[in-house]
Amino acid sequence: MNSPKVMNRWLVVAGGIVVQVCLGAIYAWSAFTAKLTADPFAFTRTQTQVIFSVGLLTFAVVMALVAGRWQKKSGPRVVTLTGGLVLGLGYLVAGFGGSSFTVMLLGIGILGGAGIGLAYVCPIAALVKWFPDKKGMITGLAVAGFGFGALIWVKLTGGFKFGPLDLTPGWTGLYGAGWTVNQVFLLYGVLFAVLVGLGSLVMVNPPAGWQPKGWTPPAASASSGGVLFTPGEMMRTAQFWELFIIFTVGALAGLMVIGIISLFGIDALTGNGMPREQATVVAATAMGLFYALCNGLGRIVWGIVSDKIGRKHSIALMSLIQGVVMILFYFVGGIEWGLYLGAALIGFNFGGNFALFPAITADLFGNQNVGINYPWVFLSYGVGGVVGPILGGFVGDSGAWAGALIPAGVACLAASVVALALHPPTKAKPVEVMKGTPAPA
């Protein structure tokens, strides 16, 4: 059913990107870790990673237990708006909290994570329904904002200088202008609430039975997204647990590097004789430009690749490359070009997870139920978000970075083997969404 009065679906894409750019602030955490280990905060490296990990875990748990079902019942707009307000509140709490670790854990870790968890799934769930013909590409494009957001929020603190290229001559960022960490938190809190609120205005589902003009839906099958599984049915399949394991490992590796790249980079570069001030700039560029930019690009590219060669083979290839790079990163991270290249490739592959796993969840367990099913798959991200950064922080405090990066790389190699074993689940009574019939919300 097509109607000229139906919203242009690309407006939903634009709104989703705005929302995801703000939610990507959690990946800008490296912009704060070095300052939080200095006075007046004097946090340990492990403490900085605890805040990050709690935020990631809260993100995943709230998304699974609250956001998925709420957005299906009430629609994505109200859930997205609430998420933006909670996220903004979290950063305001941290901003007013002084140097208190407990208050920062509450603000960034719990409230900030909860806000992201509420809003994150809404653009994905809506866009899979608006673009059943381009699931891989569109989920990659939507969540690319999450990766690019980290680039924006990191560079706002230190200026938009990329090696010899300075996009803001004479301006060295909020820190260079004398802003404190708490003041940056306050500014970000206001921006997140306003921008996510604006993006939420176009977060709506298509009308029941709508489909893209000129697109013929494939026959319902266990690999087309036409067979619907409830969360309970999905979690009783081997495929769910295979996805859970692979995503846990991918998240562990990528989030570990996000959390420690500044600390590891400075240690590795200064260990090779680079002055600390220069090493700090190089490490910030590795995260703020190479990791963040390629994280966003990876979401788009891997999504497009998966539409061509299939989700299973894309996940296996991505995990294989990530495993090799994680192991090599330890050995080349003390060289400037090695830190840049490693950060770019790890970010690129890590970003691919967020295009591939929503799409394969829709493929295997149903397009129309991805909003309630994917949050449960996404809990694996929370597990990886606890283990990866905290392991990295603990190992960093002991000075033995190899004990974090190399095991993570080996785990990615094992995950690529698990991915190759994926196959569509079967269901005794498939539920087909027929052309012209109302689809589940």
Q: Which CATH number does the domain housing residue 125 bear? A: 1.20.1250.20
Residue 437: pLDDT over 70: no
To which residue do tokens 């340990």 refer?
Answer: 44
Q: What per-residue confidence (pLDDT) applies to 438?
A: 31
Q: What is the pLDDT of residue 114?
A: 97
What's the rounded Cα separation, in Å, for the pair 259 and 392?
8
User: How high is the mean pLDDT of the chain?
Assistant: 88
In a domain, 439, yes or no: no
Q: How many angstroms separate the CA atoms of 33 and 14, rounded?
A: 31
Q: Which domain holds residue 131?
A: 9-420
Establish if 434 belongs to a structural domain.
Answer: no
For residue 25, the 8-state DSSP code is G
Is the whole-model pTM more than 0.85? no
**Nearest CA to 78 among 13, 122, 128?**
122
431 found inside a domain? no
Percentage of the chain beyond pLDDT 90 is 57
Query: Tokens 């190992």 map to which residue?
Result: 395
Q: What is the pLDDT of residues 363-374, one digit of tens each?
A: 899 888 888 899
Residue 23 lies in a domain: yes
Could you give the 3-state DSSP secondary structure of residue 144? helix
Query: Of 366, 25, 341, 430, which is closest to residue 191 (Cα–Cα)?
Result: 25
pLDDT digits (tens, 9 = 90+) for 43-80: 998 899 899 889 989 999 999 899 988 998 999 999 99
Backbone angles phi, psi at 81, to 5 degrees: -60, -45
Rounded mean pLDDT, 356-364: 91
Average pLDDT over residues 214-220: 70
429: exposed, middle or buried (C-beta count within 10 Å: 0-12, 13-18, 19+)?
exposed
In a domain, 3, yes or no: no
In-domain check, residue 267: yes
pLDDT in tens, 289-329: 788 789 888 988 998 899 889 999 999 999 999 999 999 99
Domain membership of residue 228 (yes or no) is yes
Nearest to 79 by CA among 122, 20, 108, 111: 122
- Domains held by the chain: number: 1
The 10s digit of each residue's pLDDT in 12-27 is 999 999 999 999 988 8
Whether 374 is covered by a domain: the verdict is yes
Does the CA dihedral 300-314-130-255 come out positive or negative? negative
Under DSSP, the state recorded for 264 is H
pLDDT band at 436 (very low <50, low <70, confident <90, very high): very low
